[in-house]
């Protein structure tokens, strides 16, 4: 496609492009929102998102538990805190620190909360990030915890991608857009500066400058008592970065580890998560050495985890004296405890660790104690939150409510063989009494990229909108993801990207062969990289599906590296401005549209404020499908960022549009 007839739709806020969006939005709303089913779907999802009985997940700082909370009365949210004692009660008393809705009303803004970072060890000042409409770009403002107000004349970082963190009370480390030459080709910060209170940001001292072709540059101060250090991280590309130690003399010293590995420093230790084979160690391994030895060039590496064909490292968390490993074994979480000592690392089981579902583990406060949070869930079980001191069984503190009756459903894990013989797992959630007559409306979800694993999780919205209305739900653990570590991810990189789509097609065929559904009753759904997946399912395997849902997607793979953050993903997909285009074009849905093909109906959902994946992808794809005479539905939320929605009301509407479309195309919902 030499001349792009739809290029004008890349003008995000252009009058002509927005007029096109407004027209499609109106057409979609007129068709999908008028039916009683849509009202039921939207209100049901909204009730889930705003439910007061949800678990208020917290972070610990200075004897308080902090939480950010949204509901129907507070759509943009409350930043609040309570004591550990109060948190254990059924109805904790919360101290409100910042009301974002009230702030928006006072300032005439549409701020969305992006997080907070405390000044340590005093904890009396906070850097708060706020985004307009949910975009990745945000502002940073200094907040006084004593007065509960913004610091007069305090630090303010103007709106940009990037961030700021505390070096000390009067100094920040800032990585942000300061004009020409200060951002990378991906649109992220290229420089790190030391900003002193009371001086102009533009005059902040330069600490480090990367290259235009880098992904980004950032810096942070480790304030762990006794181990205070400052680091600069230069991200060369998505899976390659350099870590530097910034000395008191201002000199930078590169940490001598592979650029492809993930280096993490905690107290006296450096942990290294390998993405590639190195020094006799297998990709996916977790290694440990004393940090000072690494700096001195004399590390003695010990293997804390080595992957197998069926296991990978899902993550880990440090407590004051232990390291808790979270391992996936065929996409099922398993926990263990490692403790460093004079004789090496001792290994033990995690007592009382759940045997079912997805398990997340995180430290409560690694500076102070050995307590961890445990979250447990699966497709049919609402999340529970427990606390445990390493070595003791967990104590459940909170449980989320059930939003649908799951007693008549079962969860299964199946494996299919892809085109090249690879064994691929997927999860299936179905009625226990399914007839296996090939008629069940079935929704297949996938992602398959960036080494992200899809593990079982409870969704009240999916339960109410799909499962209880007679739908079957499947989640594919295809290559490109992280279910089996780096090797699973690398298997679908660049020229091997189609392996992910072959895996997804194999799962779709298996659902039909098992007599669960038929192509006319099977839909596929994905967002972002998963939107690229769903787009490829549409144009490469149209015969397998009766409907396709594509959300905040990449679709024009010739232009993706020139749109917003797209250049940062070339390690994943390749560079379309080189000979890589020869293989990229084979999975660029925008360039594979065939006017004569029998495509199933498709809905595209995106956001004008998405400053990560350009809305032009979805716009142009919809326009091209329309021009080719295909059945396409389009809706673009004006706010929302890459998440597609800026608050619960918008999220409920976007989800309800997708489910209403699916029931319209796959068959009528059967009711509650």
Phi, psi of 76 (to 5 degrees): -95, -10
Work out whether strand 472-476 and strand 442-445 pair parallel, antiparallel, or are unpaired. Answer: parallel
CA nearest neighbour of 444 among 369, 383, 533:
533
pLDDT averaged over every residue in the chain: 96
Q: What is the pLDDT of residues 333-373, one digit of tens each?
A: 999 999 999 889 999 999 998 887 899 999 999 999 999 99
Which value, in Å, is the radius of gyration of the alpha carbons in the chain?
25
CB-CB neighbours of 414 under 10 Å: 14
CB 519 within 8 A of CB 505: no
Longest Cα separation, the chain: 73
- List, in sequence order, every beta strand (DSSP E) within 100-215: 111-118, 125-132, 138-144, 149-150, 156-160, 163-168, 171-175, 191-196, 205-209
Average pLDDT estimate for 303-313: 97
Tokens 């080494």 label which residue? Answer: 451
670 pLDDT above the threshold of 70 = no
210 token code pair: 């990367």
Q: What is the pLDDT of residues 539-553, one digit of tens each?
A: 999 999 999 999 999
259 pLDDT above the threshold of 80 = yes
Work out the end-to-end distance of the chain between its first and last CA atoms, rounded to an integer number of angstroms: 47
Q: For residues 672 and 670, what is the distance between their CA atoms, to the nearest angstrom?
A: 7
Average pLDDT estimate for 190-217: 97
Confidence of residue 75 (pLDDT cuts 50, 70, 90): very high
297 pLDDT above the threshold of 70 = yes
Single pTM value for the model: 0.92
Q: Which residues contact 55 (CB under 8 A, 6 or more apart)?
A: 383, 384, 385, 398, 399, 400
Tokens 């004079």 label which residue? Answer: 342
Average pLDDT estimate for 429-448: 98
Q: Which residues are registered as beta bridge partners of 305?
A: 286
Q: What is the pLDDT of residues 585-633, one digit of tens each?
A: 999 999 999 999 999 999 999 999 888 899 999 999 999 999 999 999 9
Average pLDDT estimate for 569-595: 97
Q: Which of 6, 114, 614, 642 is catalytic?
A: 642
Average pLDDT estimate for 20-26: 97
DSSP 289-331: EEHHHHHHT----EEEE--BTTEEEEEEEE-SS-EEEEEEESS
69 pLDDT above the threshold of 70 = yes
505: left (phi over 0), alpha (psi -120 to 50) or beta: alpha
Average pLDDT estimate for 270-277: 97
Q: What is the pLDDT of residues 475-521, one digit of tens each?
A: 999 999 999 999 999 999 999 999 999 999 999 999 999 999 999 99
Average pLDDT estimate for 263-269: 97
Q: For residues 223 and 268, what is the distance between their CA atoms, to the nearest angstrom?
A: 13
According to DSSP, residue 17 is labeled H
- What's residue 1's pLDDT? 44
CB 141 within 8 A of CB 130: yes
Q: Which of 528, 561, 588, 607 is catalytic?
A: 528
Range with the lowest mean pLDDT among 105-109, 235-239, 283-287, 472-476? 235-239
Q: What is the pLDDT of residues 398-428, one digit of tens each?
A: 999 999 999 999 999 999 999 999 999 999 9
Q: Which residues are registered as beta bridge partners of 306?
A: none
Q: Is 642 a catalytic residue?
A: yes
- What's residue 214's pLDDT? 95
According to DSSP, residue 560 is labeled G
- What's residue 356's pLDDT? 76
Q: What is the pLDDT of residues 111-127, one digit of tens each?
A: 999 999 999 999 999 99
- What's residue 264's pLDDT? 97
2 pLDDT above the threshold of 60 = no
Edge-to-edge strand ranges of the sheet holding 302-305: 262-266, 269-273, 286-290, 302-305
662 pLDDT above the threshold of 70 = yes
Q: For residues 405 and 396, what is the distance between their CA atoms, to the nearest angstrom?
A: 22
More confident residue, 454 or 639: 454
Confidence of residue 672 (pLDDT cuts 50, 70, 90): very low
According to DSSP, residue 398 is labeled E
Q: Is 311 a catalytic residue?
A: no
Confidence of residue 185 (pLDDT cuts 50, 70, 90): very high
* For residue 121, cis peptide bond before it (omega within 30 degrees of 0): yes
Average pLDDT estimate for 170-190: 96
Work out whether strand 423-431 and strand 205-209 pair parallel, antiparallel, or are unpaired. Answer: unpaired
Q: Which residues contact 310 (CB under 8 A, 6 or more apart)?
A: 329, 330, 484
Phi, psi of 473 (to 5 degrees): -125, 130
Tokens 């194999």 label which residue? Answer: 506
CA nearest neighbour of 377 among 341, 403, 351:
403
- What's residue 283's pLDDT? 97
- What's residue 387's pLDDT? 97
CA nearest neighbour of 620 among 557, 545, 539:
557
Share of the chain above pLDDT 90, in %: 93
CB 664 within 8 A of CB 656: no
Q: For residues 184 and 198, what is the distance between their CA atoms, to the nearest angstrom?
A: 28
H and E: helices and strands count for the chain? 14, 37
């Amino acid at each position: 496609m030499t001349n792009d007839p739809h290029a004008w739709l890349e003008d995000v806020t252009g009058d002509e492009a927005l007029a096109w969006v407004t027209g499609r939005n109106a057409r979609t709303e007129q068709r999908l929102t008028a039916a009683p089913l849509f009202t039921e779907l939207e209100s049901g999802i909204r009730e889930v998102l705003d439910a007061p009985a949800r678990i208020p997940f917290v972070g610990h700082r200075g004897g308080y538990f902090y939480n950010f909370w949204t509901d129907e009365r507070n759509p943009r949210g409350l930043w609040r805190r309570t004591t550990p004692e109060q948190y254990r009660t059924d109805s904790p008393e919360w101290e409100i620190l910042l009301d974002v809705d009230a702030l928006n009303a006072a300032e005439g803004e549409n701020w969305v909360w992006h997080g907070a970072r405390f000044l340590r060890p005093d904890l009396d000042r906070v850097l708060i990030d706020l985004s307009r409409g949910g975009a990745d770009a945000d502002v940073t403002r200094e907040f006084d915890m004593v007065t509960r107000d913004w610091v007069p004349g305090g630090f303010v970082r103007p709106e940009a991608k990037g961030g700021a963190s505390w070096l000390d009370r009067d100094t920040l480390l800032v990585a942000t857009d300061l004009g020409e030459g200060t951002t990378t080709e991906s649109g992220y910060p290229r420089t790190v500066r030391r900003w002193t209170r009371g001086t102009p940001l533009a005059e902040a001292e330069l600490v480090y400058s990367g290259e235009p072709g880098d992904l980004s540059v950032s810096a942070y101060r480790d304030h762990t008592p006794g181990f205070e250090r400052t680091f600069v991280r230069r991200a060369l590309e998505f899976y390659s970065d350099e870590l530097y130690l910034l000395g008191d003399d201002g000199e930078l010293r590169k940490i001598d580890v592979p650029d492809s590995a993930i280096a993490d420093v905690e107290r006296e230790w450096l942990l290294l998560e390998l993405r590639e084979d190195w020094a006799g160690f297998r990709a996916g391994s977790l290694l440990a050495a004393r940090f000072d030895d690494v700096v001195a060039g004399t590390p003695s590496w010990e293997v804390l985890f080595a992957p197998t064909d069926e296991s990978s490292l899902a993550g880990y968390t440090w407590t004051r004296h232990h390291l808790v490993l979270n391992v996936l074994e065929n996409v099922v979480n398993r926990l263990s405890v490692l403790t460093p000592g004079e004789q090496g690392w001792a290994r033990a089981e995690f007592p009382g660790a759940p045997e079912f579902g997805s398990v997340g583990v995180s430290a409560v406060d690694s500076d102070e104690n050995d307590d961890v949070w445990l979250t447990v869930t699966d497709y049919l079980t609402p999340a529970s939150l427990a606390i445990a001191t390493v070595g003791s069984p967990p104590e459940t503190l909170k449980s989320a409510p059930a939003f649908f009756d799951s007693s008549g459903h079962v969860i299964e894990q199946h494996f299919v063989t892809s085109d090249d013989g690879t064994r691929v797992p997927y999860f299936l959630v179905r009625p226990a009494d399914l007839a296996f007559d090939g008629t069940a409306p079935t929704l297949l979800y996938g992602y398959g990229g960036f080494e992200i694993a899809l593990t079982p999780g409870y969704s009240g919205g999916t339960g109410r909108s799909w499962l209880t209305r007679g739908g079957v739900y499947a989640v594919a653990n295809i290559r490109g993801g992280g279910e089996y570590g780096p090797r699973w991810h690398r298997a679908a990189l660049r020229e091997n990207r189609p392996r992910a789509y072959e895996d997804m097609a194999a799962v779709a065929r298996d659902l039909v062969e098992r007599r669960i559904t038929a192509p006319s009753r099977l839909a596929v759904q994905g967002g972002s990289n998963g939107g690229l997946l769903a787009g490829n399912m549409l144009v490469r395997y149209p015969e397998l599906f009766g409907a396709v849902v594509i959300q905040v997607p990449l679709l024009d793979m010739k232009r993706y590296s020139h749109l917003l953050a797209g250049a940062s993903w070339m390690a994943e997909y390749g560079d379309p401005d080189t000979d890589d285009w020869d293989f990229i074009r084979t999975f660029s849905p925008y360039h594979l549209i065939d006017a004569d093909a029998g495509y199933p109906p498709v809905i595209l959902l995106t956001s004008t404020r998405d400053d990560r994946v350009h809305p032009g992808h979805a716009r142009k794809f919809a326009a091209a499908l329309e021009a080719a005479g295909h059945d396409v539905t389009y809706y673009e939320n004006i706010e929302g960022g890459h998440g597609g929605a800026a608050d619960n009301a918008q999220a409920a509407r976007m989800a309800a549009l997708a489910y209403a479309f699916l029931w319209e195309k796959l068959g009528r919902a059967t009711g509650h």
